[in-house]
Amino acid sequence: MYLAEVKLSNIVKKQYSYKLKSYSSGFTSLIFIQMIAILFSFNGSSMMGGGSETFSYDVKYFTGSMILVFTMLWAFIVGILITTKAYRNDDYSFVTNQAASQYSNILFLLSACAFAGVTAFLSTHLFQLIAVFVLKDHSFMMQQLTVGEMLKGLCASYLYIFLLASIGYFAGMLIQFNRAFVFILPVVIFGLLILEGVVTGESTMLFKTGIFFGDETSFVLFAIKVIGVSSLFYAAASFLLRQMEVKA
């Protein structure tokens, strides 16, 4: 019997609100990352050219993919960062438990990824606008999308960013569980990639993982895949957090 009943939803709400405010410095890095991505995008994603004696052409392809990839990388890092001890200890400024901390982290990542997804989409427009004024000797064409395709793309961008945030969150929790993973994770991942490249002559592991999501043309199935895989990562992170509490 307690004087005041504390509801989980209230704690989560308070922590979420607190995290939105106190972790907002992470968004300055998002702005920085997106600016860098815009700069890199000027290089074009690919080029082609050809011609005859009297007619030659050069085509440079510009895409918003670079901005999205950089934003995904940002989400991955933020996912790792919010699992660090300093941030986890912040949760204990409130009456809290492990579940509330987890839920508020996921809610924060959901919101941060939404902001990142929208700004990544808008940054592409900023890039296009700058490009037509800077590259004056180019004639520009644009791949037109229907409203439906644009909405699906925007949602897919969000899901991709959120997927990377969940992977980062799990990786971060793994590192918090055992510091040795700081070295083990990159060594295993990059080591396997390099080893595969040395043994087979080409490294396709990352590519094969990517096409599990990237080759999916049904948006519903894609969303199910991303939400499913993300949930698995959060569940695994939750399990690790429980083990850490037991250890403590």
Partner 1 sequence: MIIVTFLIPIILIAGIMSVVMLLFKSGQRRGFNLGGKMKWILGGYTVILLIAAMLSAVILPAKLTSGKTYSTEQIEQIQDEETRVFDEAMNGKYDPGQTAFNKKKSWSLPFSERTLTVSAPSISVFVEHTDHSKDGSIEAVYYTGKFIIERIDVTDKSNPIELSLAGSDLSVNNPIPTEVNMGLFQAGFAFSQFSDGTGGMSFDSEATFGLGFVYLKVPAGVEVKGDVTYVN
15 touching partner 1, by CB under 8 A: no
User: What is the rounded CA–CA span in Å between residue 62 and residue 103?
Assistant: 38
The torsion angles phi and psi of 48, rounded to 5 degrees, stand at -150, 160
107 touching partner 1, by CB under 8 A: no
Token code pair at residue 21: 């405010």
User: What is the rounded CA–CA span in Å between residue 113 and residue 75?
Assistant: 7
Q: Minimal distance in Å, beta carbon 22 to partner 1?
A: 6
Q: How many whole angstroms from its chain centre is CA 168?
A: 8
Q: Return the residue of 124, 166, 230, 238 that touches partner 1, per CB under 8 A.
A: 124
Sequence-distant (≥ 6) Cβ neighbours of residue 140 within 8 angstroms = 131, 132
Residue type, 242: R
Select from 99-107, 139-147, 226-234, 235-243 the region that touches partner 1 (CB under 8 A). 139-147
148 touching partner 1, by CB under 8 A: yes
235 touching partner 1, by CB under 8 A: no
User: What is the rounded CA–CA span in Å between residue 69 and residue 86?
Assistant: 28
Closest CB to partner 1 among residues 142, 248: 142
| Helix 65-81 with 25-41: angle, nearest 10 deg | 150
111 touching partner 1, by CB under 8 A: no
Q: Return the residue of 58, 93, 192, 232 that touches partner 1, per CB under 8 A.
A: 58
Token code pair at residue 44: 């074009």
123 touching partner 1, by CB under 8 A: yes
Question: Segment 71-100, which members bind partner 1 (CB under 8 A)?
Answer: 73-74, 77-78, 81, 86
User: What is the rounded CA–CA span in Å between residue 237 and residue 227?
Assistant: 15
Question: Segment 175-214, which members bind partner 1 (CB under 8 A)?
Answer: 190, 193-194, 197-198, 203, 214
31 touching partner 1, by CB under 8 A: yes
Answer for the pair 41, 67: CB distance below 8 angstroms, yes or no.
Answer: yes
Closest CB to partner 1 among residues 8, 145: 145
223 touching partner 1, by CB under 8 A: no
Q: Return the residue of 132, 187, 188, 235 that touches partner 1, per CB under 8 A.
A: 132
Q: Minimal distance in Å, beta carbon 234 to partner 1?
A: 21
Question: Judged by CB under 8 A, how many residues of this single chain contact partner 1?
Answer: 81
Q: Kindly report the number of other CB atoms within 10 A of residue 158's CB atom.
A: 21
